[in-house]
Each structure stands twice: as structure tokens, then as C-alpha cells.
Structure 1
Amino acid sequence: MKSTIAKTAGVLLACLGLTLALSAPAGAETGGFAPVDRPGPALQVPEAELAAAVHCTANATNADQEVLLFVPGTTLTPDEYSWNWFKALDKLGKPYCSVTEPDNAMGDAQISAEYVVYAIRHVHEISGRKIAVLGHSQGGTEPRFALRFWPDVRPMVADYVTFAGTNHGSPLINALCPPVAGCSPSLWQQTVNSQYIQAMNSGQETFPGISYTNIYSIVDEFVQPNLDDNGTTSLHGGGGSITNVSIQSVCPTDLASEHIAVGTYDPVAYALAMDAVTHDGPASPARVPASTCGHLLMPGVDPVTFATDLADTTAVIAKQLALHPRVAAEPPLQPYVHAG
């Protein structure tokens, strides 16, 4: 899945014209969407299904430190973290949980967001403290959708960390959704100016009391434009504490950290995320040791099985993209999203 420099240059040039349009911070107006402090709706998914989707380590109960809740990306399950993050955290003895979204996160992201709402409430309750939510790609959007439309979960979250989050959509995902062939519901929802994206960013992009660390790569082959902190992953305004940071701003010569790498094995992404969840406030790139740039893999990744582990993850992605049923249009927004 490595992008060549030439291919990346073409992508960046194609996306450059969209950067300003995507970077404008959301204002106070909600643009016809629900007020930001209106109580969220009751969850539609049966509680038994929601509960079965959340899995935690034993030390997440009555935790003595911030528990990390992992949300997988499109086409994936929490298995994407099993050969990297989970092994690293097990070695450190840090508590963590994960949430499995239905249909490999290929269905309506509004339904997936309900799983995240339940997971945040559950992990906060069992841990007895504020938690951190970490998501890769689309897995960075459902937590934000949850925070936007279920305000009761905002005081439960200390840290939000996204790896290559599609916070403002991506024109490269638009290319995966040709009008004739269509694409999966959640891919439609990650296209530029989708209704889902507009609703998620309405009113304000962040909320006071939460630290936001948005990690991206300028050579990401799926999530663009991401040339700087005016790109699609970055967030602005709203009152949260925010760090928007590229892999290359920490390690300028790193042109190999593509989309999958950022969420699964990149050592800089790991260092930034760990800095965020072990300090007050969002990540500080200045605290990342310079030696991190000399590492090929994040802690937890076994160099012996790395190629196989990455190939297995890539195979799941390819299978889901190729075989998942396609729909002709984005799912309609749920009634609670609207102001009326």
C-alpha cells in the first residue's frame, strides 16, 4: 500500500484547490442542524447488541489511569489494532477497550455512531474516570458525530485522537463512489460535502474540556487534502484544545507513512498519540524524541510477522471494498440531526 512519490505529488496537486474550502472552521450557526446542546436521542440499536460490541481489558474496570477506547476504520474491525496497539498497551499494562461496528464499518455511520455512544458511556462507567477515544480514518468521525449529537458524552471524554481522520471528507473517496456503480453507505458519508460531514461539523468542530489530537500524513493516498493544518483531518475552533500535526512535521523525510501505516504501525503516530493520552492537553510534537524518526515500526509490532500482519489487514480492506454491496446514494440523515 505504499504510495510512490510521483503518485503522491499528483494527488496533492489535485487536492490543493480544495484545501481552503475544507479548512474553514465551523461557525456558531448550525445551518439547519440540531442545536449543539440539544439532548441526544434514545439509541435505536438494541442494548444487547451494543453491549456485545464492546470489549475491555480487565484493568479497565476501576482503572487507575485513562482508559483508551479504539474505534476501527472503514472495512475493518478492532482486529486492525490487535497486532500493534493492543500488544504495545499490554506490555505497558495500560487499560483499553474497543468497539466493533456493524458490517465492518461499511454501513450507515449514523448507526455506527450509536455503538460509539454506548461504548463511551460504558467505558466511562466501568473505569470511573474520563476516557480517551482513538479512531483511524472513518473511526475518527463516529466519535465526533457522537460528541456532536449526544452532548451527555462530552464530559466523559478527556482525549480525542484521530489517525488520518476523514473529518471533512476526501475527494479521493468521491472517486470510489462513481454515480453509476455507487459505493457502500459509509464511503458515501466520507465524500466531500456529504450530509453526514456537514452535520458532524455543524455549529462547532470541537467542545470545551476535550483535548483533540489530529494526526495525518501529507502522503496519505486516501485522505486528502492534508498538506497542512488546513486540510481535511485538522479541526479548528469550538473551544476544545487542539493539536493538528502531520507525520512529516515531526520527521520531514518520512514519505512512506501512508493511510494504513498512520493507524497501525507508524512510530511517530504512536508517539504523538501516547503523548496526548499521558499528558494534560493534546499532543505536543516537541515532546516526541528525535530518535523516533529512526524507527521503522511502533512498539508492539513484531518485525518477524509484520509483513503477514499488514498483508492480512490489507486483504480485509480489499475484500470489503470489492465485495460489499453498493448503494446509489448517501443514507438520509436521521431526524434528530435536524433543527426541527
Structure 2
Amino acid sequence: MRPYTFLAAAAPLVLAIPAPVPAQVAAPVAAPAPKLLPIPQGVETDPITGLVSGLVSGVLSLGSLSSAVPEVISDLANALDAAGVVTQAIANGTILGTDVPAVVQKLFQAVQPTSTPTSIPQAISQANSAFGITSSSQAPPHEQDILQNVVTLLLDGFISSDLEAVIQGVVAQSSNNINPPVPFSKTFYNTVLGNAPFDIAESTLRAAIYIPPGFTWGAKQPILMSPGTGATGDSTFSSNIGKLLAQESFADPVYLNIPQNLLNDTQSSAEYVAYALQYLYTMTSKKPAIMTWSQGSLDAQWAFKYWPSVPKIVTDHIAISPDYHGTVLACILCPGFSTANDIACVPSVIQQQYNSNFVTKLRSNGGDSAYVPTTTVYSLTDEIVQPQEGTAASGYLNDARNVGVSNTFLQGTCLAQPAGLLYTHEGVLYNPVAYALVVDALQHTGPGNFARVSGQCADIIAPGLSLSDVVETEALIPLAVLNIFAYMPKVVSEPAIKAYATY
């Protein structure tokens, strides 16, 4: 058995419930739940069994948990079981409402790494193993406990500075935004005939744009870096594609740090994309490209569809692990949050369920086809978005408008080669073929062309990235999960489709 360490070290706490109930544990007041069978004096039980039994019986309550959880978790012999217990407690209603974020945060705080990867192959292998990904020809298992998965990553040392900040309760989102200059002309804000209206204030939309030091304001092409669910632009891209593009002579990455980490209504997130692209064009007089990960691709597609002036000023859309059809695995991001057949979760996750109302509306009337030259890259072994194989992939986009589309399915194009093996949802961000296609798309008219970059199949990581970059990229999922659990209130139905989306 692997060792586990925790922040607190205390004498073993036996959580089995003897009869009578110990004085320090308050007995239920109303309609007592069935009592546990008496445990013979002197006989200790496994702490996990005792905790689960206590929760089920109602003898042990974790309703407030502000003081109880650290002691409970610090005495568990196995952190993965602790994560499972928390999921079960949420599912059976023992942990409710605003207690949920506190419990999950304390779980993350309690778990300390027992090791760190010492090589890039080891890091990639461990990250895939955490999600049960073992074969490049088989999708990950659909039944997962995401808390157990991310705890495994934490134990293996997959922690970024952004994740550490959120674990400790520091709000890192948009913290490094420097309010960008006000454009001389705002004619693109609610004045372009045919564009959907912005419901969000112009100053708020502008404040979400992080322009890094050294931005050239048009000497190089601006590239808008738009993140996925639960993350910001800089936390998503700064340790992979953004880092590499910043070193290129032809690209100027700009990061979109959307409030609430893209957990709110996806239609609102699309407003930030539509605004930022127009802002960059206005301020630099150079047509921007957009780089997206996961939900960011949906946001961009929605912006292209309902702000028809935007596709005219965008040269390329490069989508990493996109979910244009949603995902059949949406519910794993909210374990335990369910009512009858409904998943209770954050708005944007519900909107990303396969064939949700939002996805259906987006894909209608040509929304399943590209609006600008588009390069998509996706992996069969994606633990968040499924299906992701071939032309049936959620990441696959049609080209009915003949603008140019390339869909690169890594396990198909790089069959049995290093770049076509095991890559997670976030792992595609450091895949060598993915980055080569980014560069190819930005330097050629039309989408990235795999035929021009096929030699990259022999590598496992984009040149210029390091072991620490892989670790920080893989830490995106624990970061997203922690932000998802912290978001309140959870909802059971999608936000209504906006009135402007009438076609």
C-alpha cells in the first residue's frame, strides 16, 4: 500500500459508534435513525467503515463540519476512501448547501503529496492512471468518482500555484488583470446591426481581458486564449501553448479571465469572447485568432453564430479538446449532486450535457459547422468529454460554409506513435501535434494541416515544455473541480436560451 500523509497528525480516532452514544457526539433529536449494532468493547473497526456507518445511521452528523472534518480526514488511513466518503455524504444529503464547498476544500487541504513525478513519461502515465486511462484504443471508464481522481493527482504531486491558492481560499481568478485601455471607439458594443446585444456592461467585459507585459499592440497577431470550465485563460494556457506562443515572432497571446471561471451561463461567457475579439481588432488594427480549450470552444462557436460581425475579423479558431456536442460524462463533474434523473450542478456543466438545450440550439441551423478556418484536436482518452473518436467525436466540426476545417483525432492520425497514445482532456494542451497544428494554422491560410506536421507524432510533448509544465497543466482538473464544488447555488435545470437566439 502506498503511504499517505496529511497536514495534521493525531492519535487514531475510532469512528465506529459504540452503544451508548459517546457524550461528545450529539444524538439525533427528531425521529432517530436506526442505531448501529453494538460493537464489543475493545474491538476497533476500520475508520472508513465507522464513518460510513455513522453517516448512514444518522448517529454521526457532518452538517457543519467546520471543525470536525480536519480531525476526521487526518485520521483516515486512505485519502481515496476519504474522497469517496465525502461523495457519499453529499449524495445521501448529510452534507448540504454551503457546507459542501467547506468540506471539499478541507479535503484538499488535508491531502499532502507523497511524491512528485521525476520524468515527463512518468508524469503523463500517472495523470492518465488517476482517471483509469490504460489503453490508447479505449475511452476512459464512464463510472468515476472525480474527487478520488483528483485526490490521486494531489497525492502524486500534481499541484499548480493557481490550485494551491484556491485550496488555501485565495481568490486567484483575474487577480493579475491590468485593466486594459479603453478603446477610442466602442462602435462594436451594442451598435452593430445583426449582432446579439451585450447584457454585460462594457467595462466588465473589458476588465476580463488580461494583456501581458510586452504585448506589441499589433506588431504581431493577437491570439485570444479562452479557457475551459472552472479555469481562467492564464491558468489554462500559461504552462503550455501560451508559454510557447509568447516566444514566437508571429503571435501575441492575450488571456481571457472570465468571472466565475466559466461556471455561470455559457451564453454569458460567450459575450466575453465576442467582446474581446472585437476589442483586439479595434485596438491593434490586426485581425486576431482565437485559441480555446474545452468549453471555450462552445463559447467561441456561440459568439460566431450570434455576433455575425465577429467571424469577419477572425483569421483562425484553434480548438483543443472541444465539446461541440457536449459530453455524456458531464455528471461526473458533480458527484453526489442529483435529484431523481436530474444532475444538480453549476449552470455551464448542465449546459454541456450531451444534446442539452444549449448544445441543441448551438448546433441548429448550421451551428455544427465552422464559421472561420478552424483546427480541432481531440483525444480518445479524454476523461471529461466523450465521445471523442473520429467523426463521431464531440470535438468534430463540419465545414458546410467551406471556410476550411481540419479535425485531428490523435489516436487515429498518430496511430501507435507516441503523440497518439494516452492524452487526457487537459493533456492535449501539451501534445506535440496539437502545438504544431497551432503554429501551422497561424502561419498558413486556412486551418492547420496534419500532413505538414506529421513528423511530430514521434514526440510525446511539445518542444520547449518541461516536466513542471506537464504537472501544472494536469493540475487544471483539480482546480476546475474545486471551483465547481465551491460554486453556489447548484441548479438542476439549464438557464433559459436568450431571446436573441431565435434561429
Q: TM-score range by the shorter chain?
A: 0.7 to 0.9
Deviation per CA, 1:178-223, whole angstroms, max 9, x where unpaired? 6425111110111111111112112113356x21111111111111
- How many angstroms apart in 2 are the aligned matches of 1:13 and 1:191? 14
Q: Deviation of residue 12 (structure 1)? A: 8.3
Point out where structure 2 has 5 or more consecutive residues left out of the alignment.
1-126, 144-191
Which residue number corresponds to residue 113 of structure 1?
270
**Displacement of 1:273:** 1.6
TM-score between the two structures when normalised by the length of structure 2: 0.58
Corresponding residue SS for 1:171: coil
Shift of residue 320, structure 1, vs aligned partner: 1.9
> Distance in 2 between the 1:269 and 1:66 partners?
19
In 2 relative to 1, CA 44–217 (structure 1 residues): closer, same or farther, beyond 3 Å? same
- Opposite residue 327 of structure 1, the aligned amino acid is V
C-alpha distance in structure 2 between counterparts of 1:174 and 1:8, whole Å: 23
The equivalent of 1:9 in structure 2 is 138
Q: Find out whether 1:86 has 2:242 as its counterpart.
A: yes
Q: Separation in 2 of the partners of 1:162 and 1:145? A: 14
User: What is the alpha-carbon distance in structure 1 between the residues aligned to residue 370 and residue 486 of structure 2?
Assistant: 38
- 1:87 Cα offset (Å): 1.9
- 1:296 to partner: Cα distance: 2.8
Aligned to 1:261: 427
SS of residue paired to 1:49:
helix
Task: Give the C-alpha shift of residue 11 in structure 1.
Answer: 4.8
**Counterpart of 1:45 in 2: which secondary structure?**
coil
Judge conservation of contact 1:85–1:300 (CA < 8 Å) in 2. no
The residue correspondences of 1:14-93 to structure 2 (distance < 5 A) are 39-57=194-212, 58-63=214-219, 65-78=220-233, 79-93=235-249
Contact 2:225/2:242 (8 A) holds in 1: no
Alignment coverage as a number of residue pairs: 312
**Bigger radius of gyration among the two:** 2
Q: Which residue of 2 aligns with 1:147?
A: 304
**Coordinate RMSD, CA, aligned:** 2.4
Provide the C-alpha distance between the structure 2 equivalents of 1:157 and 1:12, rounded to a whole number of angstroms.
38
2:349 is matched with which residue?
A: 187
Matched, 1:278 2:443: yes
2:461 to 297, 303, 326: 297
Per-residue CA deviation, residues 302-339 of structure 1 (Å, 9 max, x unaligned), is 33x23542454333123123332321111111111125
Residue aligned with 2:364, SS:
coil
In structure 2, do the counterparts of structure 1 residues 296 and 6 end up closer, same or farther at CA, with 3 Å as the change threshold? Answer: closer
C-alpha distance in 2 between matches for 1:11 and 1:309? 22
1:328–1:252 CA distance, 2 compared to 1 (3 A): same
Identify which of structures 1 and 2 has the higher relative contact order when contacts are C-alpha pairs closer than 8 Å and 6+ apart.
1
Counterpart Cα distance in 1 of 2:446 and 2:433: 18
**Residue 101 of structure 1: aligned partner:** 258
- Aligned match of 1:246: 409
Deviation at 1:98, TM superposition (A): 1.6
Please say if 1:336 is aligned against 2:500. yes
Contact 2:139/2:380 (8 A) holds in 1: no
Q: How does 1:306-321 map to 2 (within 5 A)?
A: 306=469, 308-310=471-473, 312-321=475-484
The one-letter code of the counterpart of 1:226 is: Q
How far apart, in 1, do the equivalents of 2:288 and 2:246 lie?
A: 17
1:202-258 deviation digits (Å, cap 9, x = unpaired): 2113356x2111111111111111220232111114312111111123321232111
Residue type at the aligned position of 1:121: Q
1:114 deviation in Å? 0.5
Amino acid at match of 1:228: G
The alpha carbon displacement at 1:104 in A equals 0.9
SS of the residue aligned with 1:91? coil
Q: 1:153 is matched by which residue type in structure 2?
A: V
SS in 1 for 2:391: coil
CA distance in structure 2 between the partners assigned to 1:311 and 1:9 by the alignment: 20
SS at match of 2:446: coil
SS in 2 for 1:9: coil
The change in CA–CA distance for 1:224 and 1:54 in structure 2 (over 3 A counts) is: same
Quote how far apart the aligned CAs of 1:132 are.
Answer: 1.0
The counterpart of 1:235, out of the listed 392, 397, 407, is 397
Structure 2 counterpart of 1:324, from 483, 487, 493 = 487
Shift, 1:13, TM fit: 9.9
Alignment partner, residue 130 of structure 1: 287
For residue 73 of structure 1, report the CA deviation from its aligned partner: 0.6
User: What is the rounded CA distance, in whole Å, between the counterparts of 2:297 and 2:375 in structure 1?
Assistant: 11
Normalised by the size of structure 1, how large is the TM-score? Answer: 0.84
Aligned mates of 1:160, 1:283 — CA distance in 2: 10
| Identity within the alignment, % | 28
Higher mean C-alpha displacement, 326-335 vs 138-147: 326-335
Q: 1:224 to 1:108 in 2, by over 3 A?
A: same
